[in-house]
Amino acid sequence: MRAVRSHLRLWGTEGTAILVDTDRPWRLVLWEKAQYVPCWDLGGDIWFTPEWMETHSPEDPHCYEPIMDKACRYSRVCIADSGPARATVEWRYALCDSLY
């Protein structure tokens, strides 16, 4: 298993990505154009991601979650470790709305 920083072109757009090769038909992708939210690329343009933290309040009509950070101001990703047995990727984000 290894992690690499690369450029990914998908669905007509391109951005920086961390790609984790699992030696299987699927891989873990943290892509700038998806606000670095960890996604499993299952092949055939099918991606899966579990849910993440999001919040809102009755006084505020906006939703605060990592996918609202379109400019990646608060979403950061780095490869902490990459070796033959495992890869460790750190993803940090702050909740924000699309209006910042």
pLDDT band at 97; cut points 50, 70, 90: confident
Residue with tokens 């690369």: 6
Averaged confidence pLDDT in the chain: 92
pLDDT the model gives residue 74? 95
Prediction pTM value: 0.87
Alpha-carbon torsion 6, 9, 14, 17, what sign? Answer: negative
Domain boundaries, given as residue ranges, for the chain: 2-92
Q: What is the DSSP letter of 89?
A: E
pLDDT the model gives residue 77? 97
Rg of the chain (C-alpha set)? 15
Q: What integer is the mean pLDDT of 1-25?
A: 94
8 Å CB contact between 47 and 28: no
- The torsion region of residue 35 among left (phi > 0), alpha (psi -120 to 50) and beta comes to left
Task: Give the contacts of 3 (CB within 8 A, at least 6 positions apart).
Answer: 18, 19, 20, 21, 79, 82, 87, 88, 89
Which tens digit of pLDDT belongs to each residue from 48-91? 998 788 888 888 888 899 999 999 999 999 999 999 889 999 99
